[in-house]
Amino acid sequence: MRLFGHESDEAGAGRAGDAAIAGFWAWWAATRPEVDALLEAGGVAAADELLAPAIAAVHPGLVAEITPGREALRSLVVSCDGDPELRPLAHRWALAAPPPDALWEFHPSRQASSHPADLVLEVDGREFALGKLVLGLRVPPGAPRMDVSAYHPIFPDLGDESRTEAAFLALDRLIGEDEVARWIGDLTAATAPPIDAVPAVYLPAMVADLAAEHQGEQWAVLTGQTAGGAPLVAATRYPLRPVDHPLFDRHIAITLPYAERDPDGLPAGDAAEALRAFEERLTARLGDTAVLAVHMSSEGNRVLHVYGDPSTDAVQRAEEVAETWTDGTPTVESTPDPGWLVVSPFLT
């Protein structure tokens, strides 16, 4: 049996990211006294200006914010700002942070405010008080996301882009940026109050109710056709969201040919049982280094789409399990995919 392992040349980008993160924390250790002195003197804008190029050196798409901390006096947040491709980088930045102390704590996403009703932000020079924000909420039947229509008295005076940015920022402060990615579907920044609007401060409780309905491991089975018109059956985790596994940005594709198939080319008999047993072995061997996201069967082949942490031996573990497959020659290929683009049709 031959096992083909392929790793994209883009793997070097991960090492470059690690070096950039290490560079930032070296800069922080040397520059923190200056940042502290600026903040103690009330120079928030000057501290932001000092931080900006250091964060941009990690990646220009990351956004840094200094906010009140949960336990410490201050929090330094480095956010992907809604870009799923940058979320793994932000989380690796936070993992490399020094231990929190009385003055500083560090977060890879915007955190929910402990008192959102009292929070007043600034949008285009206008006061944006979250206590005046109202929401229209709708959960499509069986969906793992909530569609939101947001209205604030200043919204009619703002442009479309500013309204939308303000609405997203408000939700980040209400439930946290990662929870927004997890549970919020369509977001509309409205210029008139939605029907049956509720105060925005109720959103955390309503999201908690939605989350309670989607606890535990669930799978959905879908049917379709390949590009050539052959029958295809897919099984996907449900919900399937990269934010649940922010460090798993390496895609590992395992292709298993099977001999016993039905007239549609789908696994049958002993092949179906062997594939189930393989997935059990694979899941057990991967442990917490990777997750099986989707598998698809068609034309005598099953492709398992796994996402793993490139700092672990997830690829090697996948190859070890693939070597146990005897019904044909398996292949294993791995490539960077921080946005989970390969399985994007299955994301929920």
User: How many other β-carbons are positioned within 10 Å of the β-carbon of residue 237?
Assistant: 18
Per-residue model confidence (pLDDT) at position 13: 55
Q: Which one, of 88, 68, 66, lies nearest residue 77 by Cα?
A: 66
Residue with tokens 């969201």: 241
What mean pLDDT is predicted for residues 244-260?
97
Q: Output the average pLDDT for the chain.
A: 94
Per-residue model confidence (pLDDT) at position 8: 45
Per-residue pLDDT reduced to its tens digit, 118-146? 999 999 999 999 999 999 999 998 889 99
Distance CA 51, CA 330 (A): 48
For the chain, the distance separating the N- and C-terminal CA atoms, rounded to the nearest angstrom, is 37
Q: Where does the pLDDT of residue 215 fall: very low under 50, low under 70, confident under 90, or very high at 90 and above?
A: confident
User: How many other β-carbons are positioned within 10 Å of the β-carbon of residue 249?
Assistant: 24
Q: Are the beta carbons of 98 and 71 closer than 8 angstroms? A: no
Question: What share of the chain has pLDDT > 90, as a percent?
Answer: 90
Per-residue pLDDT reduced to its tens digit, 78-93? 999 989 999 999 999 9
Per-residue model confidence (pLDDT) at position 6: 46
Q: Are the beta carbons of 49 and 39 closer than 8 angstroms? A: no
Contacts of 52 (CB under 8 A, 6+ apart): 64
Per-residue model confidence (pLDDT) at position 14: 62
- Res 2 pLDDT > 80: no
Tokens representing residue 248 in the block: 């798993």
Backbone angles phi, psi at 95, to 5 degrees: -65, -30
Q: Which one, of 306, 250, 300, lies nearest residue 275 by Cα?
A: 300
Tokens representing residue 3 in the block: 């096992």
Per-residue pLDDT reduced to its tens digit, 261-310? 999 999 999 999 999 999 999 999 999 999 999 999 999 999 999 999 99
